[in-house]
Amino acid sequence: MVGALIMKFVIQIDASPHEAQAANTAYQFIKAALANGHHILLVFFYYDGVCNAQVSSFAGKDDLSGRWSALAREHGLDLVLCVSAAQRRGLVSAEGKDQGLLAPGFRIGGLGQWVDACLKADRILTFTS
């Protein structure tokens, strides 16, 4: 019955990594969930959470966007920025195009993808501040 405890998660991140600990907490939670064999269907960045995708010009381990990219590469995570939140903050053009600002592994999506993933998921968690 151990198999029944493997769960599918959707994670929503609402906070900029520069102003709150919430995005870092989400990162640690996801690492632990993956290590315990769970599936992360979607990491959805909303509100100021879209700032997680913006590559800092300060290189180094403090840059969370780089850690997100590495985690996505290793585990095939789907990191989705909400298009309207990203447009509002000027990270994505009016046409919905990435303006070359996003770290590798992030893609642009819509609220519909979030709703869809929530239907398939066992657990939905929001990290906010």
Q: Which residues bind a copy of itself (CB under 8 A)?
A: 16, 18-19, 47-48, 51, 54-59, 65, 87-94, 99, 101
Residue 21 found at the interface with other proteins (CB under 8 A): yes
One of 2, 5, 59, 94 touching other proteins (CB under 8 A) = 5
CA 25/CA 121 separation, integer angstroms:
20
Q: Which two tokens stand for residue 108?
A: 């642009």
Interface of this chain with other proteins, residues 86 to 115, rule: CB under 8 A: 88, 110-112, 114-115
- Catalytic site includes residue 82: yes
Which of 72, 82, 77, 27 is closest to 50 using CA atoms?
82
Catalytic residue selected from 10, 64, 82, 117: 82
Cα torsion through 81, 43, 109, 88, rounded to 10: -30
Q: Can you list the positions of beta strands (E) in the chain?
A: 8-13, 39-45, 79-82, 106-109, 123-127
* Binding region for other proteins (CB under 8 A): 5, 7, 9, 12, 14, 16-22, 24-25, 27-29, 31-33, 35-36, 38, 46-47, 62, 64, 67, 84-85, 88, 110-112, 114-116, 118-120, 123-129
